[in-house]
Amino acid sequence: MSTPAAKRQKSSKDVPYHLIYWAGLPGRGEHVRLALEEAGASYTDTAHIEDGTNQVLALIDDKYTGDDTNPPPLAPPILKHGDLVINQTPNILLYLGPKLGLAPKLGDDDEDGLYHVNELALTALDGLSNEPHDCHHPIASGLYYEDQKEESLRKSKDYVANRLPKFIGYFERVLKSKTSGDGPWLYGGKLTYADLVLFQCFDGLKFMFPKAVKKLEDSGDYKGVFALHEAVKERPNIKAYLASDRRQNYGMGIYRNYEELNVTE
C-alpha cells in the first residue's frame, strides 16, 4: 500500500519529537509528555514555546486538509516527528512506545505484548480519563459545566460508586495476572507506557475525587494500583519532571476539583 505522495526519507526522523498541545493544563498531552520524559527523549512542546497555541490551531483548523503525507488531525495531542504528523493519544503512544523502550516491538520474541500494552492503555483512557471528563460534561462538551451541574453531580455519583471501583479493580486484577510479572508493573515485569497512562489517570483522579480515592485506599483492596502510582512517581526521570516547571497544574481540563462533585457515593 502506498500513498500518492513521494516516499518519506527515513532520515527525516533524526530530529527531536515535537508535541503539539494546548498550554496551561496537563490534559491528554500529558500521557505523551510522561513517555518522552521517562525515556529521556529529546522533544519540544508547544505548551512551552511562543506561538505554540497557533501551531495547534493551524493543524485543527476546519479548512486544513493535511499535507502531502499526512491527513488532517481532528484534535490534539498531535505528535510531529520529522515529516510524520499523527494524533490520538493511544496512537501516539503506540508509535512512541517501542521506540522509547516503553513497549515490546513487533518482531521481538514478545511481539504480541504490544497489543496487550495497547489494550491496557486504551482501557485506562476510556474509564479513567474519558469518563471522568464526562463527569463534568455529561450533556455536551461544548457547554459550560455551569450549564450541566445537576447532571454532572448525578453522573459523578454513579462514577465513584460504580465505574471507578470497576476500572481500578480491573487494573488491580491485571497486576495480579501472570503476565504482569515481577515488580509493580502491569505487563511483562517491566515499566511500559500503560503504566505511565495508569499513573497519570490515577493522579488526576486523586485530584478530582480525593474522597472517593481515599475510600478506595482505606478498603485495602487496591494496593497494587496505589503501589504502581508511587513507583512511577519515584522513577528518577519522572520525579525530576514532576518537580520541574514543565509539569503543569491541573485546572480546567479533564480532571477538575469541584468541591460539589467530590463525592463518595
> In the window 71-90, what residues touch its own copies (CB under 8 A)?
71-74, 84, 86-88, 90
Using the minimum distance from each CB to its own copies, give the nearer residue, 115 or 265: 115
Using the rule CB under 8 A, which residue among 44, 53, 95, 215 binds its own copies? 95
Does 170 sit near its own copies (CB under 8 A)?
yes
Does 189 sit near its own copies (CB under 8 A)?
yes
Q: Of the listed pieces 32-40, 118-126, 205-213, 247-255, which binds its own copies according to CB under 8 A?
A: 118-126
DSSP for the chain, please give it. Answer: ---SSPPPPGGGGSS-EEEE--SSS-TTHHHHHHHHHHTT--EEEGGGSTTHHHHHHHHT-TT----SS-PPPSSS-EEEETTEEEE-HHHHHHHHHHHTTSSPPTTSTTTTHHHHHHHHHHHHHIIIIIHHHHHH-SS-TTS-GGGGHHHHHHHHHHIIIIIHHHHHHHHHHHHTSGGG-SSS-SBTTB--HHHHHHHHHHHHHHHH-HHHHHHHHHHTS-HHHHHHHHHHHTSHHHHHHHHSTTSPPP-SSSS---GGG----
What are 122's three cell numbers? 486504551
Does 26 sit near its own copies (CB under 8 A)?
no
Does 104 sit near its own copies (CB under 8 A)?
yes
How, if at all, do strands 17-20 and 43-45 pair?
parallel
Q: Of the listed pieces 43-51, 181-189, 210-218, 226-234, which binds its own copies according to CB under 8 A?
A: 181-189
- Total of residues contacting its own copies (CB under 8 A): 75
Q: Of the listed pieces 25-33, 40-48, 165-173, 223-231, which binds its own copies according to CB under 8 A?
A: 165-173
Segment 126 to 145, residues that bind its own copies, using CB under 8 A: 127, 130, 134, 138-143
Does 15 sit near its own copies (CB under 8 A)?
no
- Quote the least distance from Cβ 244 to its own copies, whole Å: 28
How, if at all, do strands 84-87 and 78-81 pair?
antiparallel
What are 95's three cell numbers? 508509535
Does 155 sit near its own copies (CB under 8 A)?
yes
- Quote the least distance from Cβ 216 to its own copies, whole Å: 16
* Dihedral of alpha carbons 205, 211, 215, 217, sign: positive
Does 8 sit near its own copies (CB under 8 A)?
yes
Does 91 sit near its own copies (CB under 8 A)?
yes
What are 214's three cell numbers? 481515599
Using the minimum distance from each CB to its own copies, give the nearer residue, 104 or 248: 104
Q: Of the listed pieces 21-29, 176-184, 238-246, 247-255, which binds its own copies according to CB under 8 A?
A: 176-184
Does 54 sit near its own copies (CB under 8 A)?
no
Quote the distance between the C-alpha of residue 102 and its chain's center: 14
Using the minimum distance from each CB to its own copies, give the nearer residue, 49 or 110: 110
Segment 200 to 229, residues that bind its own copies, using CB under 8 A: none
Does 162 sit near its own copies (CB under 8 A)?
yes
